[in-house]
Amino acid sequence: MACTVVVGGQWGDEGKGKITDILAEQADLVVRYQGGSNAGHTVVVGGEEFKLHLIPSGILHPDCTCLMAGGTVIDPLVLRDEIEGLKARGVSCDNLRVSYTAHVVMPYHKRIEELAEQARGRGGIGTTLRGIGPAYTDKAARMPRPVRFRDLTDAHRLRELITGQLEHKNIIIEHQYGQPPLTVDEVFQQVWPAAQEVSSYATDGHRLVQDSLRARKRIVFEGAQGTFLDLDCGTYPFVTSSHPVAGGACLGTGIGPTAIDEVIMVTKAYTTRVGAGVLPTEDEGDAGQLLRDHGHEYGTTTGRPRRCGWLDGVVARTAAMLNGATSIAVTKLDVLDSLATIPVCVGYEIDGVMLDIVPSWPEDLEKVKPVYEELAGWQQPLGDMRKWDQLPSQAQAYVERIAELAGVPVSIVSVGQGREQTMLLG
């Protein structure tokens, strides 16, 4: 492992946090490259559960530096609470850094998103309401100058930037949504106490990454969300506003594509999605409920029940291509323990034509009929197994079929939440 990207191969919640934590053991630097507090990464160590939204999943390894890169968006209130929560549990966070250039999620972003989603009603995106879309929108708009992480070190500058932003935001809040405007004082008062606490983590993120590359340090780039939530490659418009795909690691951190040695695509043994948008293998009946119950498929960030369905081989193949995946980490294989047979989608049929990759036009994807193959289940608990050879032949065949469908070998198999419930395949 020199430079490894960990990327979600589906619609998020694949278990990237656990895989990043494991790789962090051997890493010098873990870098979150996109997204913000919309993410929810769970890491379980010695039966203790840590839920991380912003902070990279390497934070539990004190010798590993953790950077939130310029491609992320940071809510200072969430960051402060997350740091305090970790410190209260004995995690120092001295190894945390945040890039100067990361954009800041401000209270007006959350307010505008809440009003916009309410106005859209059932036609909404079903976002996490963490202000992510509006913060990235301001980043792309460039003027008036949005707040970036380094701006949090200077009260005068922060107040000036809030003043400039509210001149525009209040037009939307008052005139588009008929709601009372926000005042500069209230926004400043909300943010400044948290800003004072978190701004000491600010650093030149580009320099940190470039210096680490030059020193041949081992770096893990941690993606949030998943391939099909990518703004460009996902099921638009039901996507997030950043770039979870492996290429996003280049943009979000300022490295060239040739710096990446490995791309580990994390793929759950079945499929889930939160929020609106197409999900070809969704099962809205008892089977979906079984996956939800056994997999504890409720959002880490919002608590919403996740939509569940069978593994989609077309999604796996397409994601492997979009990410240039070099291997796959299959997670939550144990969730399927009780099933006698397991359907796996091996192709899509649309108007009598078979497709082997996901069509890029989402309305076409809505029309596809998944073609299933039934694989034999293993009907025994996998949670205590530690080696590939201990897995029942049916479970091995299931994992091998995923590799075959994706066209990429499997390097990691996870059979439970704990660090120890992980098989690293040679």
Structure token pair of residue 364:
């076409």
Measured CA to CA in angstroms, residue 219 lies from 29, 102, 212, 214, 403 at distances of 5, 19, 8, 11, 25
- Closest to ligand IMP by CB, 239 or 375: 239
Written as one letter, the residue type at 241 is: S
- Closest to ligand IMP by CB, 32 or 401: 32
In the residue annotation, 204 being an active-site residue is answered as no
Question: Rounded CA gap, 204 and 258, in Å?
Answer: 22
12 binds ligand IMP (CB under 6 A): yes
Q: Which of 68, 91, 125, 316 binds ligand IMP (CB under 6 A)?
A: 125
Q: Which of 9, 15, 17, 40 binds ligand IMP (CB under 6 A)?
A: 40
Taking the complex as a whole, how short is the minimal distance between the CB of residue 172 and ligand IMP, in angstroms?
Answer: 17
Stretch that binds ligand IMP, among 33-41, 96-104, 150-158, 368-376 (CB under 6 A): 33-41
What are the backbone dihedrals phi and psi of residue 255, each rounded to the nearest 5 degrees, phi first?
-115, 160
Stretch that binds ligand IMP, among 44-52, 88-96, 124-132, 382-390 (CB under 6 A): 124-132
Stretch that binds ligand IMP, among 121-129, 202-210, 310-318, 401-409 (CB under 6 A): 121-129
Q: Which of 70, 133, 223, 254 binds ligand IMP (CB under 6 A)?
A: 133
Q: Closest residue (Cβ) to ligand IMP? A: 275
Stretch that binds ligand IMP, among 100-108, 165-173, 221-229, 375-383 (CB under 6 A): 221-229
Instruction: Please say whether the beta carbons of 80 and 127 come within 8 A.
Output: no
Contacts (CB under 6 A) with ligand IMP, residues 77-116: none
Stretch that binds ligand IMP, among 126-134, 183-191, 348-356, 357-365 (CB under 6 A): 126-134
Taking the complex as a whole, how short is the minimal distance between the CB of residue 28 and ligand IMP, in angstroms?
Answer: 26
R_g of the chain computed on alpha carbons: 21
Within 10 Å of residue 376's Cβ, how many Cβ atoms? 15
Of the residues 41, 53, 103, 109, only one is catalytic, namely 41
Q: Which of 19, 30, 31, 39 binds ligand IMP (CB under 6 A)?
A: 39
308 binds ligand IMP (CB under 6 A): no
Cα–chain-centroid distance for residue 244? 7
Taking the complex as a whole, how short is the minimal distance between the CB of residue 51 and ligand IMP, in angstroms?
Answer: 12
Question: Rounded CA gap, 420 and 386, in Å?
Answer: 8
| Closest by Cα among 406, 236, 391 to 312 | 406
Taking the complex as a whole, how short is the minimal distance between the CB of residue 138 and ligand IMP, in angstroms?
Answer: 14
Cα–chain-centroid distance for residue 364? 25
Contacts (CB under 6 A) with ligand IMP, residues 249-288: 274-275
Element (H, E) at 164: helix 155-171
Cis peptide leading into 146, omega within 30 of 0?
no
Q: For 334, which DSSP code? A: G
Question: Rounded CA gap, 223 and 264, in Å?
Answer: 11
| Closest by Cα among 72, 71, 99, 56 to 206 | 99
Question: Rounded CA gap, 169 and 111, in Å?
Answer: 10
Q: Which of 127, 267, 318, 327 binds ligand IMP (CB under 6 A)?
A: 127
In the residue annotation, 185 being an active-site residue is answered as no
Written as one letter, the residue type at 286 is: D
Written as one letter, the residue type at 211 is: D
Q: For 173, which DSSP code? A: I
370 binds ligand IMP (CB under 6 A): no
Question: What character string, x for contact with ligand IMP (CB under 6 A) and - otherwise, covers 224-243?
Answer: xx---x--------x-xx--
Binding residues with ligand IMP: total (CB under 6 A) = 20
Positions touching ligand IMP (CB under 6 A) are: 12-13, 38-40, 125-128, 130, 132-133, 224-225, 229, 238, 240-241, 274-275
What are the catalytic residues? 13, 41
